[in-house]
Chains A and B, each alone.
Chain A
């Protein structure tokens, strides 16, 4: 029994030593919420996204400071923060989840892999389960995460008044393009 104890102890130590993590504070997320026939583009870029990926088990978290979304028009940015996202009340959007199924540990293998990421997405104080297809590219102590998915604004308690319904769509297309480096 003592031997088993030692083996488990050794295994646990070696496992945590191998728990390689990748991180960024300058990840990029963009979104486009332009209504189909809108005369102007409703899109924004955020270059201050923080994320950590734990390579061995594929656990992944994102933190998005809402105020860091930059719009082409300052007025849109004001309205986005004040009326739609209420960023004073909900300063961050978050994702907590991981790479699904047998691919969970895939970030330990270099190359480009198509994966599905599942987890809880919190926007505007509302949390929903999401499942998102994406691409993960591992090379040279860096991991690149790419994904495109759509969220229904309604699902996250963001209401668009009729006045701007011809410009702001019911869905926002979110594009993640972030490079994480090994810690």
Chain B
């Protein structure tokens, strides 16, 4: 009896060796595919802008984004201007993802007839159990358009006087699936300012973030604290720190952003340093960002197939 049971035991053992269980095969695969590479954290933000500010998100390489940004007039204007709807400023622009880490854009603003351009470079990516933050550099230039302003006698208005430069470091962390925050130390340099009492170079610290309330809706906010020149008026009017509060709504093809802000300007020099309205007086502007993305250069996996349908 003992012999038979030993034989049976061996028989079963031999079959186990003969055919490993699928679980064994799966752990064999696990071992074979194990890597030390830490995974990048994705979707820190839904879009390339929080509200006015850029986020650490870049467009994918080969993607073109057509953006229409709208800021209406003051809600506090009341019925006279249909709560601001009558006085809108707009920026239309094109952004493009050159590589995974480089994104560029150009745009035209109705406010000040300003043309602007920017580049955004991804420097660091947050990783799961690794690098704690994502870091990008944003560099922008904006040129005022329109007629030359009245200059003091003996002074000429050169093209360079129209220019403003922005440098920002975007430092973001996705704390959880829902919460992401971004710090934005910023330097804006205006080539021409009204008074020598102030500095042409202005430092500020911005903070922004989003909180997802569902898979497709997130609440967003951003605020800039101006470190110097906070008392510098713009065209003789007192300026305030910029604060915006809004929502990201994701639809099939794009993210729709709706918000209230006290900044009517859309370029960095306008919203960070030349915001002349304040929340406390109800001088809010309703605004929205819409974007439509087009795949210009398709990912390499799809290059041999039929052309991508963009519509």
Given A5-B6, A119-B22, the answer on whether A39 and B252 have CB atoms closer than 8 Å is no
B250 within 8 A of A: yes
Residues of B1-21 whose CB lies within 8 A of A: 3-4, 6-7, 10-11, 13-15, 17-21
Chain A residues with a Cβ under 8 A of chain B: 1, 4-5, 8-9, 11-12, 15-16, 19, 23, 25, 39-41, 45, 47, 50-52, 54, 56-57, 59-61, 63, 65, 67, 70-75, 78-79, 81-83, 88, 94, 96-98, 119, 161, 163-164, 167
Chain B residues with a Cβ under 8 A of chain A = 3-4, 6-7, 10-11, 13-15, 17-23, 25-26, 28-30, 32-33, 39, 42-43, 59-60, 63, 177, 215-216, 250-254, 293, 295, 298-299, 301-302, 308-311
Shortest Cβ distance from residue A84 to the other chain B in the assembled complex, whole angstroms: 9
B262 shortest CB reach to chain A, Å: 31
Q: Is the CB of B295 within 8 A of A72?
A: yes
With A5-B10, A8-B11 as known contacts, state yes or no: A52 contacts B29, CB within 8 Å.
yes
Report A-chain residues with C-beta under 8 Å of the C-beta of B14. 8-9, 11-12, 15-16
* A83 near B215: Cβ-Cβ < 8 Å: yes
Known: A4-B3, A12-B13, A78-B42. 20 other contacts (CB 8 A): A5-B6, A12-B11, A12-B18, A23-B32, A40-B309, A50-B29, A50-B32, A52-B29, A56-B18, A59-B21, A61-B22, A61-B25, A63-B26, A72-B299, A74-B63, A75-B253, A75-B254, A79-B250, A82-B42, A97-B22
A contact face: mostly helix, strand, loop, or mixed? mixed
Name the contact of B29 in the complex, choosing from A47, A63, A97, A167 (C-beta under 8 A).
A63
In the complex, chain A residues whose CB is within 8 Å of the CB of B25:
52, 54, 59-61, 96
Q: Which of B19, B33, B309 has the most CB of A within 10 A?
A: B19
Known pairs A5-B7, A23-B32, A163-B252; A61 contacts B17 (CB<8 A): no
25 contacts between A and B (CB under 8 A): A1-B4, A1-B7, A4-B7, A9-B10, A9-B14, A12-B14, A12-B18, A15-B18, A19-B19, A23-B32, A39-B309, A45-B302, A50-B32, A50-B33, A57-B19, A59-B22, A60-B22, A65-B33, A72-B298, A75-B253, A82-B43, A82-B215, A83-B215, A96-B23, A98-B22
